[in-house]
Every structure is written in C-alpha cells, then in structure tokens.
Amino acid sequence: MAKETQFVEQIADINTNFPQWYTDVVLKTKLVDYGPVKGTMVIRPYGYAIWENIQSELDGRFKKRGVENAYFPLLIPMSFFTKEAEHVEGFAPEVAVVTHAGGEELSEPLAIRPTSETIIGTMMAKWVQSYKELPMKVNQWCNVMRWEKTTRPFLRTSEFLWQEGHTAHYSAEDAQEETLGMLETYKEFVESCLAIPVITGRKTDKEKFAGAVATYTMEAMMKDGKSLQSGTSHYMGQNFATAFDIKFQNKDGVLETAYTTSWGVSTRLIGAIIMTHGDERGLVLPPVVAPTQVVIVPIAARKPGVVEACEALKANLEGAGIRVILDNSDNSPGWKFNEWEMKGVPLRIELGPRDIEAGKMLCARRDTCEKLEKPLDGAADTVKELLATIQKDMLEAARARRESRIVYADDIQGILAGVDGGNFVKAGWCGCRDCEDKVKEETGATSRVIVEGERAEKCAVCGKKAEKMLIYARAY
C-alpha cells in the first residue's frame, strides 16, 4: 500500500502502557523531537504553537496585575548563589557550570541559570531606592537549565522554557497577597484555558522551594492517577532581599528591607494537557490553546463545487477569528480523520456534495467523538458555540474523573492501597517530617498539598493527633 494511503501508525494502549503511550503521542504528533544532547528536547512547530497560545493567554493576565516583562542574563556568577545558602544547597545537584570561555579558564565559574532569584535580586537592589518604587513586578519568558538525571519530554528535561515572575514589596502582607493572587491567577488560567482542574494550597516545608518561607502549588491529576505539579508561587519573606540587600527608604526616611515573591509555570503545562485529556486515539486539545481549532475535510473533493464550498467555509470561519485549516491533500478522508484525531484538533467538519445540497455540515467533536449535523448558514456562530461547549465539557469531564479518584486513608496501608489504585489520597498528618519521609519510603507517594478546611483526627503514619490534612500521590 502506498504511503499516502496508509492510516497513521498506532500508538501504545493508554490503559496498559501509559508511559509508552505518552512518548508515542508527543513524537508521532510532532510536538517534540529529542535533542542531540542527552536530556534535551526540540520543540517542533506544532508543540511551540501550543506554547505561544499559553504565553499569549498568561501574558495578558500578568499585565493586568501590573507585571512588566524584562530579560535577565543566562549566565550567573556562582558567587551570587552562595549569598543564599539554602537556595544554593537546593539547586547544587542540578546546576550546570561554565568554567572556560574564549579559550581561557574563567576567573569565576558561571552558572547557567536554573532559576533567576539571584540575578534578579541583585538588579532589584540597584533599582529599588524608595517606597515609591514598590511594588516592583517583573517577569521574564526564558529558558532555564537543570541537569536532570531522568528526563521525559515536557515533563522533565535538562533545558526547558518557562516564565518566572519576581516581585518586591514594602510589607509582608503585600507580598503574601501577591503570592496568593498569582496562585489564583494560575488556577483560573489552567482551568479556563487548559481545561485542567487543579487543587491549590501550601506545600509542606519538606516540599517547598529552596530559600522560600512558603511555597504554594497547583496539583493536577493525570489520567494514570499521578500528580503533576503544574505551577508554583513562592513567598520569600525577606530571605532573598536580605541576602541581596534589597532595601528602600520608607515614608519616614528609614531604611527597610523589602519582601519578595517568585512564581512560574513552564512547558510542563503541555505535558499536563496531553496526560489529562489524551485518549487511545492520541491528543485531545482544549480549543483555547489548540494551534488548529477546526479542520475542514472535503468529501468527494473531485466533484464540482466541493472544494469551493470548503474554501468559502474556511474563509468564513477565519473571518470570525477561528484557527482553521482546510485539508485538501491527496490522502483519503479516512486517513485524514485518523491524522487530525491523533493531533487533537477539537472539531472536524466534513463537507461533501450531499451536505452542500442540503445546506448542512457534519461536525465531529474530538473530545467525545460525537458527530453533529449543523446548518451551513451561520456556521461561524455555530462553530464558536461548539468550541466553547467542548472547552467547558473537557474541564467538567476532567474534574469528575479526578473527584471520583480522591480517597481517604487512616493508615499507611490505606495510603499505599490508594496510590496503587491510581488515586489521590487524603490523610491526616501530625506535622512531623519523619512521617512524611516514611510515606514516601513505603508507598512511593509524596505529600502534594496541604488541604485547607479539612481536618483528620490522627496522623495516618504514627497515630498521633493530626495537625493537618495532606493529599498524597505518586507524581511526575
């Protein structure tokens, strides 16, 4: 059989081999390819288009919060890291270091940024002089490098793309408000644009960001029941401001130390989309960030008027701001159906002679595989309504699936049984680090987030009085 008439290659069974299914999907849909350096990835145009849409949606939200974009150097003097001991200790195993340049050994080694608190703290110390300049809110879209031992495209690679926001404030209350406000901004974005329900809250001290006073997270459940930390917002208190001398004169002319925050999400969100919504056919992309929202497939394209009708429909949808393509290739309709389903395009429109004669179009939803006959008249409004429905339904389906897989446990055996069953497990915790460590050691699960508003009588590990309720899960 000729290559152009073959159906797309099959992918691994999502139900029996989820890791291989994920790898097959990211490679065969041309989201990424492996880079020549171990642990790196090349983000291909289809994958980068998703990232561009994520950027666009988030950037507008940042600007509404008064955040300005900037850019800071990739190379950071190693001495900067030693100013904040906890920070450097937390990142030491992952830092890549440049020791030679221009054919000579450098007088001071340079770190390839694993994160930018140190360089941004140094610059803020130069820029902040008075309370009038606070709050200062900057963000950069950039790459970072963390020398990971075990990698997987989008989820954990040695180099990845992200945004990192950093703010300085005149009071602890203002900084804390910013920290929680950005966490809420992330949650609204991920749920409304990526159709991924998340649980937000504070991390335990064991799991917090190195150098932070408190780390707040959003945790998403993937289809295999594992958790993916999808974004974090950190309240730094005065830790970094003290280390980097970020001081300002208050209204009385007295010198004070600022309070800082940092927050970020990365291309890991693309992995979250894949593993939250994908199915046995491949990708299922939420319409808001899908590179292509609609694909038009001509049926009996050689018959008079079919291609012209498809082109007119395409122009109509484009005029309404819908991202649409017309697949007028020589491949069979069946091949096209498989190809675009695997690539996760939210809506497929089939248009043939009978449809045109009847003034109708056949619409196939990617999320439910449901086929709907709709009138061609008013097509743009119909398609917009369908895309909005798909977006809403994808979130509701993901939320219902997650809620059905949250269980409670009274002891460590219950936690083990819960995570073995692909669930998030709520369990009481006494606040002891040893109990957290024991859960990880015996179950492979880690504490993901502290649950606010819920209490347990006893710690699931030691049996002592519980101080908090935790969600445990195995995680990426």
Q: Is 10 within the bounds of a domain? A: no
Q: What are phi and psi of 43, to 5 degrees?
A: -85, 115
Residues 416 and 326 in one domain: no
**Strand order across the beta sheet in which 406-409 lies:** 406-409, 424-429, 468-473, 446-451
Cβ count near 52 (within 10 Å): 13
Report the CATH number that the domain containing residue 384 is assigned in CATH: 3.40.50.800
Which pLDDT does position 357 carry in this prediction?
95
Residue 34 lies in a domain: yes
Q: Hey, how many other C-beta atoms are within 10 angstroms of the C-beta on 141?
A: 15
Buried b (16+ CB within 10 A) or exposed e, 163-176: bbbbbbbbeeebbb
pLDDT for residue 252: 96
Tokens of 340: 């675009």
Say what the pLDDT of residue 69 is. Answer: 98
Closest CA to 275 of 338, 220, 231: 220
The domain boundary, picked from 247, 277, 307, lies at 277
Q: Is residue 446 part of a domain?
A: yes
CATH number for 82: 3.30.930.10
The dihedral sign for the CA sequence 39, 112, 70, 135: positive
* Residues 6+ away with beta carbon under 8 Å from 461: 411, 412, 429, 430, 432, 435, 438, 439
Nearby residues of 418 by Cβ (< 8 Å), 6 or more positions away: 407, 409, 424, 425, 472
- Please indicate, yes or no, if residue 33 is contained in any of the structural domains: yes
In this structure, the answer to whether residues 74 and 208 fall within a common structural domain is yes
Q: Give the CA count within 13 Å in the CB-facing half-sphere of 17.
A: 8
- Kindly state whether residues 101 and 159 are assigned to the same domain: yes
The pLDDT assigned to 94 comes to 86
Q: Is the distance from CB of 272 to CB of 196 less than 8 angstroms? A: yes
Tokens of 77: 């003097």
Note the maximum CA span of the chain.
Answer: 82
Looking at the DSSP bridge assignments, the partners of residue 371 are 364
What is the domain extent for residue 411? Answer: 406-473
Q: Are residues 80 and 193 in the same domain?
A: yes
Same domain, residue pair 383 and 410: no
Name the stretches of the chain with pLDDT < 50. Answer: 1-8
Same domain, 270 and 337: no
Question: Among 330, 360, 388, where does a domain finish?
Answer: 388
Instruction: Note whether 300 and 153 are same-domain residues.
Output: no
* Distance (Å, whole) CA 171 – CA 192: 32
Domain boundary among 388, 422, 446: 388
69 neighbors 58 (Cβ within 8 angstroms) = no
Domain count, the chain: 3
Query: What CATH code is carried by the domain that includes residue 468?
Result: 3.30.110.30
Same domain, 76 and 124: yes
CA dihedral for 186, 156, 55, 262, sign (positive or negative): positive
Give, as one character, the DSSP assignment of residue 282: B
Task: State whether 273 and 303 are in the same domain.
Answer: no
Same domain (yes/no): 309, 259: no
In a domain, 435, yes or no: yes
123 and 212, same domain (yes or no): yes
How far is 97 from 107, CA to CA, in rounded Å? 13
Phi then psi dihedrals of residue 189, to 5 deg:
-65, -50
